[in-house]
Amino acid sequence: MTATKAAPTSTDASGFEKPGPGTWTLDTGHFGANSSRICQDLIAEGCTKGSAEGFALMGAPLKQLDAAFVRGRFYIKMTPLVGGGLDLPTPPGPVLWMATRLHPKFRNAEKTAGRALGERFWMDEHKRWVDEWKPKLEQQCRTFSAVDPATLTNDQLASHIDELYALAQFGTALHFRLHVSDLGPIGILLVQARDWGLDSGEIMMTLSGHSPATNAPGEALAAIRHIVAAKGAKPTTLDEVRDLSPEASDLLDAFLGEYGWRLTTGYDIRALTLGEMPATILTAVNAAPSEASAAESNAAALKVGDEAFDALRAKVDPADVAQFDEMVADARALYGLRDENGPLTYQWPTGLLRRAVLETGKRLVSSGRLPGIGADEPHDAIFDLSAAEMASLLRGGDQPALAEIEQRARAREQGMKLDAPTTLGRVEDDPPLWTMPTNLRKFLDAIFTVLEMVENESPALQTKLAAAQADLAHAPKLTGTGVGDEPYVGKACVVHEADEAIANLEPGDILVAPYTVPTYNAVLSIAGAIVSDAGGLLCHAAVIAREYGIAAVVGTGQATSTIPDGATIRVDPTTGYVTVLS
């Protein structure tokens, strides 16, 4: 769950009070105006705690990434290592240069950063993920998946919520901690490659084929599809899939056990889990590639990565080849962790929490402790309660009272009508890299480079794309950053949220979205190509394109507002052009 931020274009507005010192930036990629109390609590605590742990391991000149919700909107702030609790402007360059060499915290951070670089701390984090954290999360999520909240007494359900919330707390903090490691070595590789004169797009291609978690759902569906095809069947329900054979039933149940309780249409517990959308699963089964095709696709992605690696390695000075080999190997290992991180640390625990919360909502409504409001979500007000409050009410507590819950719902609905400012507080420039000591400068450069790669592209490339866009102002084309080597023509499916994509995308369609995140993974295996408004070479859409071997053009800026839904378009990753044909 990397930060997807809106461009800073405004400051404090009526109804939005700055949550603390510094500059807070609106994040529109993860939570909307209707965010639940549980997710607000999880993210505000987990983001700060996890990022602080990660930055401390790295020795970064940053204390933490702070998160806060204001009128339901998600705001984030990079807090510097020193002075983060004060509302002061960034010091002049010479003053900052002196401070980073004299202040004890900066001196200690510089030593830690040097040690972290030398010992490649991210590989220790990767090992702990493989050996400790991942198995723990999988085992606990499977254990909780086997518990049907509807069969529990109120006291048991309260304890179930307590335990699930504790798991979600652990996972959320780990999620943000791991994002320091799973992006760090990639950023360091990109910075070093820049110094070697290597192209960043070609560097990213060396990672192709090294995100197994991206392909895993498609491979599982391909195994089910194999049985469907062998039987010559055209199932219209999941029960009809199960009826094909015991093996088909076992494979489907295994798929649902692994992916069914993960949040899919968004990051808030208001979002649907995959198991709540049987029609989507059926569509994915019927559209899944054959097992042979899936294997060929995986092999092709690995081949692309190896060919890119060989081509770049030949350009590296022989004295630097060993360093190049090690850096690419590290980046590949952590690249795979990046797309595995969110689904296991956050989407699965919170999806299970959603199931328990919905059962709690039914019981509190029937007992008169909760108003049943909202046409789309029958027990909408349940999402205004914290996990502790839900457990307390289930155990017979009397707080919060019904009147308080109704007041919260009204306040949330009023807040949803407000236009949220994209920044709260004075907009500050990033500290100049030259002011940092050697090791801190390396990490800060890597952080800035990765953020550019995830959210947009380097300033130089953005300038080039803007110029190209101006030249094409009177032509039915858009420009962006291309991923892939083969153009694709198909029907545009224009969406703005993951649930729209899941409901409307048909096999072979070109998904046109503001951006994509792992919650889109349930349908991206059937997409013919991807076009996004935002993003760069390290964004989720680019990762998906590399792993599935499909065309993508990301960072177009205006695809969703320019391309008509249903239009026939051509996506050419070799030029970065998207052309509306009809």
Q: How far is CA 231 from CA 161, 224, 288, 507, in A?
A: 43, 11, 15, 21
In the three-class reduction of DSSP (H, G, I as helix; E, B as strand; rest coil), residue 383 is classed as helix
DSSP letter for each residue of 277-298 = -HHHHHHHHHHPPPHHHHHHHH
Q: Is 11 helix (H, G, I), strand (E, B) or coil?
A: coil
Sequence-ordered alpha helix ranges (H) in 456-513: 459-471, 498-504
The structure's pTM equals 0.87
Q: Based on the number of CB atoms within 10 Å of its own CB, is 233 exposed (0-12), middle (13-18) or buried (19 or more)?
A: middle
Q: How far apart are CA 538 and CA 523, in angstroms?
A: 20
Do 207 and 540 contact (CB within 8 A), yes or no? no
Residue 162, token pair as written in the block: 């307590």
CB atoms within 10 A of CB 142: 13
Q: How far apart are CA 225 and CA 290, in angstroms?
A: 7
pLDDT in tens, the chain (582 residues): 554 444 444 444 567 889 999 899 998 878 888 999 999 999 999 999 999 999 999 999 999 999 999 999 999 999 999 887 778 778 888 998 999 999 999 999 999 999 999 999 999 999 999 999 999 999 999 999 999 999 999 999 999 999 999 999 999 999 999 999 988 899 999 999 999 999 888 898 999 989 888 888 888 888 999 999 999 999 999 999 999 999 999 999 999 999 999 998 889 999 999 899 898 888 888 877 788 877 888 888 899 999 999 999 999 999 999 999 999 999 999 998 988 999 999 999 999 999 999 999 999 988 988 887 544 445 688 999 999 999 999 999 999 999 999 999 889 988 899 999 999 988 777 788 899 999 999 988 888 888 776 655 444 444 444 444 444 444 457 888 888 888 999 999 999 877 788 778 888 999 999 888 776 776 777 889 999 988 888 788 888 888 888 899 998 888 999 999 999 999 998 888 999 998
Q: Which pLDDT value is given to residue 6?
A: 42
What CATH number labels 459-580? 3.50.30.10
pLDDT at 83: 82
**What was the pLDDT predicted at 12?**
46
The predicted pLDDT at position 188 comes to 92
CA neighbor of 193 nearest in space, from 449, 539, 540, 573: 449
The pLDDT score that the predictor gives to residue 476 is 53
pLDDT at 463: 45
Note whether 524 and 504 are within 8 A (CB). Answer: no
Beta bridge partners of 512: 494, 531
In this structure, are residues 368 and 402 in contact, taking their beta carbons and an 8 Å threshold? yes
- Residue 307's CB is within 10 A of a number of other CB atoms, namely 13
Q: What is the pLDDT of residue 503?
A: 78
* Cβ(67)–Cβ(43) below 8 Å: yes
CB 199 within 8 A of CB 70: no
332: amino acid identity, one letter: R
Domain locations along the chain: 24-198+337-435, 212-334, 459-580
Q: Would you give the DSSP letter of residue 129?
A: I
Rounded to whole angstroms, how far apart are CA atoms 27 and 268?
Answer: 14
Neighbouring C-alpha atoms within 13 Å toward the C-beta of 277: 24
**Phi, psi at 44, each rounded to 5°:** -60, -40
